[in-house]
Structure 1
């Protein structure tokens, strides 16, 4: 596994291991949604189908050990099955067990350009919310929050998080890098279009959140390729800051976004059956070196940071929301010959897209911009903006599934509460990302939700 893989060089222990977990693990490594060919990979076929059949509770459906050992994976010299072997073995297998052709548990192996059929929604619903100070119980979150805040007991309520969707992907590079965390969930959407990249290098760290729309090809492509585009151009600040580095970095980021847009456009053109021809994505990326930080975004996936004034914790927004309701963004669209009109009560470009800057969106691209907002700062300037050298300074990058239901200040407050509670834990920032994701879900977010929390450390 490459260094950027969330599970690189880590022994992971899970309290449970279900087919949903297997499905999610395969999807996490299938960034472009190409699928895995179990017909030519006996090991995948063995794990995905045969072992599960060995564990069937009903003995009439359970595969016998003899049949299991007849699998081509266990036959010397036949690690790669020929088409004849695949067909012959599958015929034998089907004669014993009726395999449902569209078994949702097998879709992790299939082409994922269209979303899998697996239902990732929780089986239970949270029905009890508790005030952390007085332990009073409520049947709904709104009543609990009103009670806790009006009495100044707490800003957030407690509930059983085990009943909520668990992370499809999680990042926790332990012990190499415990200062960041990532969590995303499909939420209430039928498809997953949020994807991310975390790449940790000796000289820099790269974090990115991509929120796709009208299909997930663009966001998957961006998650798989953008790091290399940026790394190549920003290596100029890995070891030193040359003269006029801010201007050079901003130009390099703009070029990287344009290259990514062009790459997505080419991928869309070659997508199977053209099913993703209108796919697009927002992008919010963070590049950190020992000397500087670079934050760039197009669209409405937001990035914020801690901002202390004495002992008062505030939130500072580093990104810009490129949305059709913003007057300057409307003017940008109109200057390109486009128009803004309402659809579903929301201002949209050509009545379709709520963001004015995006990557991909081939049909709407003439009216959109791919120019990113870029924030650059030395490490010293960043810590001055954070306002303290005595408390943790961190950045939250998230798709709008979080920001639709939480303010900047609420997100910073909740993350800080988790980090303080988990102080000393190597997983505190991973925990913060998970709590933010699930809080957005319990508040009713109807979108995919992806959250990355990154602590910026002093060197």
Structure 2
């Protein structure tokens, strides 16, 4: 279930980079959780001569961060090091520069997941139950011709193409009929939407307490380490891929997040700032979990426009003005706290709020305006984060693994 803090930790880990015709940014925040259990991977240019391939992943740990952290450092090498991935399993010889067949890559990805899961089982603390951690994993592997979406658990990846959600991965939940059948066949049960009434995901790396049923293979256990892999050919209309843990998806749907990111890309060229804004917005939308997001922008991603920047400035100015008015009309009741200001603004029809983000994405603007008028801290939301412009330190679900 996880325990919570009295107030959220809003410091962020951010990074950015680029190459192979793409740019990426990422941001993660501990939030209300007592421990940060998320991890990520971002690699542009893979080893072994795959210079024009890239790999990005988000890992959402539970019951500890050991498995998530280890996978963030070593899952890629287990995938690319498998004979199946490189096509060194007796298949036809390829010409220089020719990509491996799609099914070969998909087979190698699956093999890499099973291999790292089996490898971690040998760690003494995991084997002896001293560490019972596990982790979801969601990733995208980009070759010059294909996008491979990889998912094990309930983190999620979404492809935005031509302004629309084109593909999303499927969440692996115990109540899913396929997952429930495997769990029951392994002698388990699904109670309160959890494996044996405890674990909220039906596929994960680690979690060896759920992988000890005699006579069952690794993909037949209560919790399976096998990922689902979906391939789609790259297209000129591809705009971006977003990977995120369920701390993001808990409060934003696929469409909402893509709309919000598209609107931010028209205002800011800094991908770290875009990702920071996603995390801040989800915090103010009510997410209580760790939050991590990786944004991979392809050549056709939205660009900053003068019109969008102008509208954003006008919106910020309008919000600042309205906050001043609300504070001035409070009268003898004294200066209102931030919660009162936000409740008042939420009843108004404010034009040009960012789609998908709404007023929650403007908490920083309103809190800064409020703070400039009084030294008294607001009575709620006492740890409102500021916008980071440079590197520093369950909602509606769309159909998964589906092309729209």
TM range (shorter): 0.5 to 0.7
In the TM superposition, what is the alpha-carbon distance from 1:358 to its structure 2 partner? 0.9
Alignment of 1:277-292 (within 5 A): 278-292=132-146
Does the 8 Å contact 2:157/2:168 carry over to 1?
A: yes
Deviations 1:205-252 (A, max 9, x none): 11010001111111011111111112234456993234xx12212211
Q: CA deviation at 1:274?
A: 5.0
**What is the match of residue 438 of structure 1?**
280
Match of residue 65 from structure 1: none
The residue aligned with 2:159 is 305
1:341 partnered with 2:187:
no
Q: Is the 8 A contact 1:199 1:227 kept in 2?
A: no
Aligned partners of 1:289 and 1:199: how far apart in 2? Answer: 12
1:353 aligned onto 2:171: no
- C-alpha RMSD of matched pairs (Å): 2.7
- Decide whether aligned partners of structure 1 residues 178 and 438 sit closer, same or farther in structure 2, where only a CA change above 3 A counts: farther
The equivalent of 1:249 in structure 2 is: 105
Aligned counterpart in structure 2 of residue 222 of structure 1, from 66, 71, 80: 71
Aligned to 1:232: 81
**Which sections of structure 1, spanning at least 5 residues, go unmatched?**
1-117, 123-164
**Alignment match of 1:328 (pick from 154, 178, 181):** 178
Alignment partners' CA distance in 1, 2:231 and 2:32: 35
Distance 1:239 1:287, change over 3 A: farther
Paired with 1:120 and 1:230, the residues of 2 have a C-alpha distance of 39
Identify if the C-alpha distance between structure 1 residues 394 and 217 changes in structure 2 by more than 3 Å, giving closer, same or farther. same
Name whichever of 314-323 and 184-193 sits farther off: 314-323
Task: Find the counterpart in structure 2 of residue 318 from structure 1.
Answer: 168
Rg: which structure is higher? 1
**Corresponding residue for 1:264?**
120
Alpha-carbon separation, structure 1, partners of 2:6 and 2:73: 25
Q: Distance in 2 between matches of 1:289 and 1:175?
A: 12
* Aligned mates of 1:369, 1:178 — CA distance in 2: 33
Could you tell me the TM-score, scaled by structure 1's length? Answer: 0.55
Choose which of 236, 240, 244 in structure 2 pairs with 1:398: 244
Compare relative contact order (CA 8 Å, sep 6+) and give the higher one, 1 or 2.
2
Secondary structure in 2 matching 1:220: helix
> What residue is the counterpart of 2:382 in the other structure?
none
> Residue 11 of structure 2 aligns with which residue?
166
The offset of 1:265, in angstroms, is: 1.8
Following the alignment from structure 1 to structure 2, what is the Cα–Cα distance between the partners of residues 444 and 261?
Answer: 33
> Could you state the TM-score of these two structures normalised by the residue count of structure 2?
0.63
CA distance in 2, matches of 1:194, 1:176: 26
Matching residue of 2:313: none
Q: Gaps (5+ residues) in structure 2?
A: 46-50, 88-93, 212-220, 301-404
Which one has the bigger strand percentage?
2
- Is 1:239–1:291's contact at 8 Å kept on the other side of the alignment? no
Deviation at 1:395, TM superposition (A): 0.7
SS state at 1:166 partner: strand
Relative distance call for 1:119 and 1:206 in structure 2 (3 A) is: farther
Partner of 2:62: 213
User: How many aligned positions are there?
Assistant: 274
Distance in 2 of aligned mates of 1:338 and 1:407? 31
The 8 Å contact of residues 120 and 186 in structure 1, kept in 2 or not, is answered as no
The whole-number CA distance in structure 1 between the counterparts of 2:22 and 2:8 is: 29
